[in-house]
Amino acid sequence: MIKGFWDGIKKRSGTEPFFVMAPLADVTDIAFREIISKYSRQGKEYGGPAVLWTEFVSADGLCSPGRKVLERDLAYTEGQRPIVAQLFTAHPDKMREACTLVRKLGFDGIDINMGCPDKSIEKQCAGAAMIKNPELAREVIKSAREGALDIPVSVKTRIGYNKNEIETWIAFLLELKLPVLTVHLRTRKEMSDVPAHWNLMPSIIALRDKISPETLIIGNGDAMSLEDGRQKAIVSGADGVMFGRAIFGNPWLFDTHKKVVSTRERLEVMLEHTMLFEKLLGDIKNFAIMKKHYKAYVTGFDGAKELRVKLMETSSAEEVKKIVGEYLGSI
């Protein structure tokens, strides 16, 4: 078991849970991670999220002639460390090759996605489809370790495919002595349509203590604030908590000192986020990706609905700048 930087994370958190940011497709790109780092970490090495994840990236794609574009999804800055690259594939040889590349790119860790419910990913026998094929999952993890060498390889998954499979699937993964296992506390079938089953985490922790005591367990699902996450971890026994939807429009989430964010500050940071996205990714990603962020940034204040409607019609950072400027000039 190669724990790498995870040893430091656990040592610093002590008996307190640690908090990390989820890998979200078309959300946790380099631009958003940079905004999170700036406004949650406030320049402090151990401030904000304990670990940042990339979006999930196809290992097969990283082994193809078109990999240069995908490598852009793996771009990061030093201020985003420690950072973990999340990969998916059903081909052990591709995983080995991709992990070799990721190691050369200087990542602190590699995480394998074994929980994504997207049908296009499952058709490749990857993501949540791995839950139905433990032996293939074993081979993919083995190959990832061969490519990663001295950096830790972790897994993110769900409690089961159609039903609770903690006693089989989660136990199987624990037997592989992973340094970290992140468990989204829903089944593949449940998607995100039901509340996360945090009541099941104690049974996962009990299995961990029995099978692989050194494995850190991160719980994922419905944590909406640091205090909410802290309480979920304390009650359930999880070592850490991963935040997903709660980070939308809220790059201050991990800042323990931030209490109130003004409308002006929220919109100015949204504009900064937009400008950074266009600068770093505008040549390879659709500007429409930013609009899911606008829905979260622009809410809960007078005129939010009308402003949001205007932002949904934009196609460039300059347009957003003009619209935001006009709104701020009117308040």
- Whether 42 shows a pLDDT value over 90: the answer reads no
Mean pLDDT within 230-249: 96
The pLDDT score that the predictor gives to residue 253 is: 92
CATH for 5-247 (3.40.50.20, 3.30.1600.10, 3.20.20.70, 3.10.129.10): 3.20.20.70
What integer best gives the mean pLDDT of the chain? 95
CA angle (252, 258, 261) in 5-degree steps: 70
The pLDDT score that the predictor gives to residue 48 is: 77
Residues 275-284 have pLDDT tens digits of 999 999 999 9
Lowest mean pLDDT among 11-15, 154-158, 247-251, 318-322: 11-15
Q: How confident is the model at residue 256 (pLDDT cuts 50, 70, 90)?
A: confident
Domain ranges across the chain: 5-247, 263-330
Question: Measured between alpha carbons, how far is 278 from 285 in angstroms, rounded to an integer?
Answer: 9
The pLDDT score that the predictor gives to residue 258 is: 67
The pLDDT score that the predictor gives to residue 44 is: 63
Query: Is the model more confident about 66 or about 129?
Result: 129
The pLDDT score that the predictor gives to residue 260 is: 85
Asked about 99 being catalytic, the answer comes back as no
Mean pLDDT within 123-148: 98
- Whether 43 shows a pLDDT value over 70: the answer reads no
Mean pLDDT within 172-194: 97
Is residue 306 helix, strand or coil?
helix
The pLDDT score that the predictor gives to residue 13 is: 85
Q: Find tokens 């500007």 and name the residue.
A: 287
Helices (H), the chain: 5-13, 30-36, 59-62, 67-73, 92-104, 119-122, 134-148, 171-175, 201-211, 226-236, 263-281, 291-297, 304-311, 317-330
Question: Measured between alpha carbons, how far is 232 from 241 in angstroms, rounded to an integer?
Answer: 8
- Whether 173 shows a pLDDT value over 80: the answer reads yes
Mean pLDDT within 173-182: 98
Of the candidates 63, 99, 116, 125, the residue annotated as catalytic is: 116
- Whether 319 shows a pLDDT value over 70: the answer reads yes
Question: Measured between alpha carbons, how far is 218 from 215 in angstroms, rounded to an integer?
Answer: 10
- Whether 175 shows a pLDDT value over 80: the answer reads yes
Q: How confident is the model at residue 255 (pLDDT cuts 50, 70, 90)?
A: confident
Give the tokens for residue 86: 């999340």
Q: Which of 46-55, 70-79, 238-247 has the highest mean pLDDT?
A: 238-247
- Whether 14 shows a pLDDT value over 90: the answer reads no
Is residue 270 within 8 A of residue 298, CB to CB? The reply is yes
Compute the Cα dihedral for 21, 29, 31, 307 and give only its sign: negative
Mean pLDDT within 254-263: 83
